[in-house]
Amino acid sequence: MTVYLDHAATTPLRPEALEAMLPFLTEHFGNPSGSHAVSRAARTAVDEARDVVAECLGCQPGEVIFTGTGTEADNLAIAGVVARRAGRVVCTAIEHHAVLHTVQALRGDVVPVHPTGRVDLDALAAALGPDVSVVSVMLANNEIGVIQSLAEVTAVVVEHAPEAVVHTDAVQALPWLDVATAAAGADLVAVSAHKFGGPKGVGALVARSGVRLAPILHGGGQERDRRSGTHNVAGIVGMAAAMRATVAERELSVARVGARRDRLADALVAALPGTVETGDRAEKVAGSCHLRFGGIESEALLVLLDDAGVCASAGSACASGAMEPSHVLAAIGVGRAEARSSVRFSLGATTTDDEVDLAVKVVVEAVAHLREG
C-alpha cells in the first residue's frame, strides 16, 4: 500500500475533474477562440469555468485570467504590474520560488519573518515607500503551512505604500482556507489546479479591476490581452470542477484532515523524543505536518519511507532532483543541520486514518533505525 502524504506537492485528480475534462480531451476539441460550432462548445466551457472560479475566489469573471501554472500566475502578477508601473517589488523571505525568484530577478526586496513564520509587519512597513509597486505575501506557506493575515498586511501597505498593489500566492491555501474572504484585500491572487484535485498545467490569476497588468506572454491576445496562448480547455474545465468540489467540501474536509494531521503529529512527537513540530497548528493549514527529527538526515529518512511505501518530502528539490537547504526554515531561524532533519508530511482530502496509522508506524521505525547509526 502506498501512503501518499505529499499533497502540498500535488494531489490526485478528483473524479469530478476527470469527468468534466474527458469530453474536452475527446469530442469537444475546439479552440475557444474560433467562431464556429466546434469552437463555441469550447468557448462556452471556458466561460462557464470562469464563472465557477470567480465565484469560488470572490471576484468577477472578467477578473479571472487562466494561466499555464501557478508559477506563471505569480510571475504575471509581479512582472505584469511592474511592466505597467515601474517600481520596487517586495516579498517575504518565505515565498515560494515562483515569487521569490521573480522578485529577486527584478532586484526587489525581501522582508524577514518572525520565528513563527508570520511576516514581520514592522520590517514590512520599513521596506515600503512610495516607490513600491507590488507587495507579494503568500497566504499559506508550502513548506511549513503557516497562514499569513493578509488583512494586516494590506493595512500596512495602505499606510506605507498606498500606490502599491498586493499580490498573494494562494496556491497552497485553496484547499484549506476560504480564499474569497482571506484574500479579499489582495489585488492579485494566484492559484494552481493540481494542488486541489485539478490537473497539472493550469492555474489562474485573479487581477481585480483597476489593476493595470501587462502580459508576459505575447501572442494572440487571449484572456483580454493579458495572457496569450490557446486555452487549455480540458485543464480549465477540470480546474473549475475541482475547485467547486473542494470549496463545497472545505469545512468538512478541514475538520477531518485537521484531526488526522493532529493525530499524525501527536503520535510522532510522542513516540520520537527530540522531534520538533514547525509552526503553531493554530496558524497552519489543516493538511500541514512539518517535523524536525533531531539527529537524523531527512534525505536518508525519505528513502526508507519510500522503501516502505510512504511518500513525503523535505524542502524543495533543485533541477537535479537533490534536496536543497530550505530558505523557509532558514528564514524562521532554523539552523542548516536542523533544517536537514526536517520532513514535510502533507495530508489531503483523500488521506485516511489507516494511512496515518501506517505512516506513524513506518516513520517511528525508520527514525529509530537511523538514530541507531
Partner 1 sequence: MGGRVLVAMSGGVDSSVAAALLVESGHEVVGATMKLWGGASDSGCCSVADVDDARRVAQQLGIVHHVFNFGDDFEAAVVGPYVEAHAAGLTPNPCIECNRHLKFDRFLHRARQLGFDAVATGHHARVTCDRGRWQLRRGADAAKDQSYVLSMLGQHQLSRVRLPVGELTKAEVRDRAGALGLRTATKAESQDVCFITSTGGRGAFLGERIELRPGRVLDAATGREVGEVPAIELVTVGQRRGMGGAAGGGERRYAIAVDAVAGTVVAGTEADLLTDGLAVSAGGWSWTDEPVAAGTVVSAQVSAHGPPRAAVLEAGGRLRWLEPERRVAPGQTVALYDADRVLGSAIAA
> Active-site positions?
318
Tell me which residues in 281-300 interact with partner 1 (CB under 8 A). 299-300
Nearest approach, Cβ of residue 311 and partner 1 (Å): 13
In terms of Cα–Cα distance, which of 84, 65, 81 is closest to 73?
65
Nearest approach, Cβ of residue 322 and partner 1 (Å): 4
Please give the Cα distance from 354 to 238 (Å, whole number): 29
Is residue 1 within 8 Å of residue 309, measured between CB atoms?
yes
The answer to whether residue 324 forms part of the interface with partner 1 (CB under 8 A) is yes
From 86, 126, 158, 303, residue interacting with partner 1 (rule: CB under 8 A):
303
The answer to whether residue 335 forms part of the interface with partner 1 (CB under 8 A) is no
Nearest approach, Cβ of residue 337 and partner 1 (Å): 9
State which residue, 113 or 366, has the beta carbon closest to partner 1. Answer: 366
From 27, 47, 251, 307, residue interacting with partner 1 (rule: CB under 8 A):
307
15 Cβ contact list (under 8 Å, min separation 6): none
Nearest approach, Cβ of residue 332 and partner 1 (Å): 20
State which residue, 209 or 320, has the beta carbon closest to partner 1. Answer: 320
In terms of Cα–Cα distance, which of 9, 185, 207, 188 is closest to 99?
188
Residue identified by cell 477531518 is: 256
Phi, psi values for residue 52, rounded to 5°: -65, -50
Number of C-beta neighbours around residue 14 at 10 A: 23
State which residue, 9 or 214, has the beta carbon closest to partner 1. Answer: 9
Nearest approach, Cβ of residue 340 and partner 1 (Å): 8
State which residue, 126 or 303, has the beta carbon closest to partner 1. Answer: 303
State which residue, 255 or 318, has the beta carbon closest to partner 1. Answer: 318
Please give the Cα distance from 50 to 76 (Å, whole number): 18
Which region among 20-28, 81-89, 122-130, 313-321 touches partner 1 (by CB under 8 A)?
313-321
Please give the Cα distance from 176 to 341 (Å, whole number): 26
The answer to whether residue 323 forms part of the interface with partner 1 (CB under 8 A) is yes
State which residue, 121 or 304, has the beta carbon closest to partner 1. Answer: 304
State which residue, 212 or 336, has the beta carbon closest to partner 1. Answer: 336
| Binding track over 351-370 against partner 1, x by CB under 8 A | ------------------xx
Paired sense of beta strands 64-67 and 188-192, if any: unpaired
Nearest approach, Cβ of residue 265 and partner 1 (Å): 25
In terms of Cα–Cα distance, which of 143, 102, 117 is closest to 326?
143
3 state SS of 217: coil
From 130, 158, 336, 368, residue interacting with partner 1 (rule: CB under 8 A):
336
Which region among 86-94, 122-130, 284-292, 318-326 touches partner 1 (by CB under 8 A)?
318-326
Give the interface size with partner 1 as a residue count (CB under 8 A).
Answer: 17
Strands ordered across the beta sheet of 288-293? 275-277, 288-293, 342-346
Scored b (16 or more CB within 10 A) or e, 100-121 reads bebbeebebbbbbbeeebbbbe
Cell representation of residue 253: 474536509
Cite the DSSP H helix spans in the chain. 15-25, 37-57, 70-84, 97-105, 121-127, 150-160, 179-182, 222-225, 233-271, 298-307, 327-331, 336-339, 353-372
Tell me which residues in 64-93 interact with partner 1 (CB under 8 A). none
Which region among 208-216, 250-258, 275-283, 312-320 touches partner 1 (by CB under 8 A)?
312-320
Paired sense of beta strands 310-311 and 3-4, if any: parallel
State which residue, 82 or 328, has the beta carbon closest to partner 1. Answer: 328
From 304, 311, 330, 364, residue interacting with partner 1 (rule: CB under 8 A):
304
120: left (phi over 0), alpha (psi -120 to 50) or beta: beta
Nearest approach, Cβ of residue 219 and partner 1 (Å): 29
From 1, 37, 282, 322, residue interacting with partner 1 (rule: CB under 8 A):
322
Residues of the shown chain interacting with partner 1 in the complex, contacts defined by CB under 8 A:
299-300, 303-304, 307, 317-324, 336, 369-370, 373
